[in-house]
Amino acid sequence: MKKLLLSGFMAIAMVVGVSAQKAGYDPVNAPFGHGQDSVNCRLNLSLMQTSAKAEAYESALKPWMDAYENCPAASKNIYIYGPRIFKALYGTTTDEAKKKEYLDKTMEIYDTRLIYFGQDDAKGTILAYKTYDYMELMGEKTDQAVVYQWLGEAVNDMKENLNPLDAYSYYMVASLNLYLSDNSKKEQYLNDYFAVVGYVDQAIALAKNANDQASADYLVMVKDGIVKGFVNSGAGDCKTLTEYYADKVEPNKTNKEFLNEVINALASVGCSETDFYFTVAEYLYQLEPSAGAAIGLANKSLKDKDYETALKYYEQAANLETDKNKASDYMMQLAGIFANQRNFAKARQAANEALSFNPSNGEAYILIAQLYASSANNIFSEPEKAGLVYLVAVDKLQKARSVDPSVAEKANSLINRYSAAFMDTETAFMMGLKAGETVFIPGWIGESTTIRLR
């Protein structure tokens, strides 16, 4: 940006007292004014735009001031270039009094824009850009209460239609900062969080319906940031959320939207194995089976050690889930539970179901390989044949890295370890086995593989 040569004294003189509208001005029927006033307005607009586009803000200032004072409804460009001019002035002075003058003028311009061009752009959008300029100029001195107030108006004005999209994030950062500096604002922060996450979810749905995948993806990123802030804030621990919702659930036990909110909130802070969570999940499942509710009931069944019922609910959750990657993850959770219980057959079954939802889930193949390796000494009656079991484990690992490059490093590490346990050439000769032959691995594994030796 070009440096302004205009002295601070002249700039201040021009700033003071120009916000008043010229007497007799008719913004509706004669936005440019009448007669010579109209000629002057058009000339000033042209001079302002030409200079401002060239970033010659020294030259743009006087015609901008004349247009702002005498024909403020003539062009929205007055309100587009105005903040640029005064932000540039702000950046060229170290005088705090002058900085305040320029800051106040920039903020005033947005307020005036709402008067004359509030129908062109949503109030929330104008307030968001006003807030952004305020934060830019104030830097580390930004008052989060001011940001919270202005963006709060923007969010309440536009809800799921908020634009710019990142205003949701800045609003929640302000709300979080206010809570962190004053813990009495916890309930305010919680209310803001749930309201905004709801708006963002609706905004994502609107973007997808409009085939605007770029906006949908960006909003998902915005939501992830808001949720991470919430989880790390300390405001949303299990105890707090349970207390927050405790007296609200029973009166709303037939409200699907509310119950989903509770389930998602509790799950976001790892609070999905409490009696309260299970109660909400049961209410929700009775109204309408959903993935979230099914997971809740699956967790309850696991807590009760009713593994057959847990398997049923995990499968239902996966089938009800619209996101296939999440569905695959549900089945992997179940597979991990069975693996820890050393119920290898059921663990493999769950991992295979995970692959049915997401064939590129490399972790599923890795888990199956680990299950096979863990069984190596229990499949054949002859201990010398344990090395054959590692063959099918390596087969799964090779498949894992071929379908999912993100697990390649982990798969390669296990391949090196398991390959070292292959049957050696001498043992294979003694047992009548040859490299390249097909061999069947019995027991619960029940798979054939090609013999490789070390």
Residue 386 lies in a domain: yes
62, 88, 120: which is the final residue of a domain?
A: 120
Residue 328 lies in a domain: no
206 closest CA partner among 163, 263, 166 = 163
- What residues have CB less than 8 Å from 284, skipping those under 6 apart? 256, 259, 260, 263, 290, 292, 293, 296
The residue with greater pLDDT, 16 or 249, is 249
Residue 73 lies in a domain: yes
Report whether pLDDT(1) > 80.
no
Handedness of CA 283, 284, 288, 291 (dihedral sign): negative
pLDDT tens digits, residue range 23-39? Answer: 778 888 999 998 999 99
Residue 17 lies in a domain: yes
Residue 22: its pLDDT value, please? 66
pLDDT confidence band for 204 (50 / 70 / 90): very high
Residue 221 lies in a domain: no
Residue 447 lies in a domain: yes
Which DSSP helix (H) or strand (E) runs through 448? strand 447-450
pLDDT tens digits, residue range 215-249? Answer: 999 999 999 899 888 878 888 788 888 888 888 89
55, 86, 120: which is the final residue of a domain?
A: 120
Containing structural domain, residue 391: 359-454
The residue with greater pLDDT, 404 or 299, is 404
70, 99, 120: which is the final residue of a domain?
A: 120
Residue 14: its pLDDT value, please? 40
Report whether pLDDT(18) > 70.
no
Quick one: angle between helices 167-181 and 144-158, nearest 10? 140
3-state SS assignment for residue 441: strand
Residue 74 lies in a domain: yes
Residue 190 lies in a domain: no
The average pLDDT across 260-282 equals: 85
Report whether pLDDT(200) > 70.
yes
Structural domain tally of the chain? 2
**Amino acid at site 251:** P
**Amino acid at site 145:** A
370 close to 402: Cβ distance less than 8 angstroms: no
Residue 224: its pLDDT value, please? 87
